[in-house]
Amino acid sequence: MKVRLGFVSNSSSSSFVGFGVILTEELIKKYNLNLEKDKWDDYSDENVQYIGNGKYLLGEILAHEIEESNTKTFTIEELSNIQKEIIMKYNVDTKDFSLIAGNIYD
């Protein structure tokens, strides 16, 4: 049996790791985020990333479509700096942050 280490990607999906706040209508209202959608119905803010299945991430995509031979590392300090930047700019709460790993199937 072959075990695959790392992300596996094919033409219908794209693997990623992200860090930030998964936006919901509730959180957008709670934090009074003034996010505008563009003509393609995506948020036009540079810190909002589409992560599939109609969900958006307010934060940063740390890794996307990683080949098996590549490894990316992020220190806790780097993640903390990303979090501080997002908190300062959008006034969101630390408890709403997550580390997200998944596949975009769109």
Please determine, for residue 69, whether its predicted confidence score (pLDDT) is greater than 80. no
The whole-number pLDDT of residue 92 equals: 96
Give whichever of 8-17, 40-49, 54-63 has the largest mean pLDDT. Answer: 54-63
CA distances from 79 to 44, 46, 68, 83, 91 (A): 23, 18, 23, 6, 17
The whole-number pLDDT of residue 11 equals: 47
CA distances from 53 to 62, 72, 95 (A): 19, 25, 23
Please determine, for residue 55, whether its predicted confidence score (pLDDT) is greater than 50. yes
What residue segments make up the domains of the chain, in order of their start? 20-100
